[in-house]
Amino acid sequence: MKLVLFDCDGTLVDSAHVIHRCMQASFEDHGFVQPNLSETKSIIGLSLHDAIGILLKDQTTNQLDKMVQNYKDHFFKIRTQENLLEPLYAGIRDVLDQMKQRDELILGVVTGKSTRGLIAILEGHGLRDHFLPIRTADDCPSKPHPAMVTECCAEVGIDASSTYVIGDSTFDMDMANHANAKSVGVDWGYASVSELENSGANHIISNPSELIDIIG
């Protein structure tokens, strides 16, 4: 048996622009200098507390909890009023469907999103039943802490040495390495190939179909 854990933002779905809209709105609401898109992309994958803290840079505040909630409010407003659903990357659905049919594979998700946000995406794309273990920012410390991986492994009874973490960020690669799992970086997300390589990715892929050969 093998466990395959997918990151969400930048790996399964392209969500950078909606995350950036919400981040800019939250910063504006609280009177701080808004991050640019490249800055927002650099923190995607972290929990909101950690991400906003990094984007604040030298702008000190005691309103971090309020900014996190404000971000969530903006995200919920966009999701409900605009009926927005972040698009899957090309080829993701086909690979997930193939993996789901294999009895020796268990699929899961490890993400810095909230549980509510993740479930909305998975259900919106009809993918909720593809994944068994799920860990979000509501459950575990932020990446690159290994808890998301180790808890998923414990839940399904599969050792980390038989686990693959698929992600687009250095936080994903570091989390996998800290958990002694195998790391697979994807080049269609928000980190560069060189950043993934420097984070110790065991593999880097350009097409989701490559996962089939890597996992075996």
Domain ranges, ordered by start, for the chain? 2-14+87-215, 16-81
State pLDDT tens for residues 166-210.
999 999 999 999 999 999 999 999 999 999 999 999 999 999 999
Q: pLDDT tier at 58 (50, 70, 90 boundaries)?
A: confident
Mean per-residue pLDDT of the chain: 95
Going by DSSP bridges, is the β-strand pair 105-110/182-186 parallel, antiparallel, or unpaired? unpaired
Averaged over 153-164, what is the pLDDT? 98
Interacting residues of 160 by C-beta distance below 8 A, sequence separation 6+: 149, 150, 153, 179, 180, 181
- CA-to-CA distance for 60 and 35, rounded, in angstroms? 15
Residue 216 is predicted with a pLDDT of 87
**At the topology level of CATH, where does 2-14+87-215 sit?**
Rossmann fold (3.40.50)
Is it true that domain 16-81 has CATH number 1.10.3720.10? Answer: no
Helix (H) or strand (E) holding 67: helix 64-81
- CA-to-CA distance for 191 and 193, rounded, in angstroms? 7
Three-state secondary-structure class, residue 213:
helix
Interacting residues of 46 by C-beta distance below 8 A, sequence separation 6+: 54, 112, 142, 143, 171
State pLDDT tens for residues 95-148.
999 999 999 999 999 999 999 999 999 999 999 999 999 999 999 999 999 999
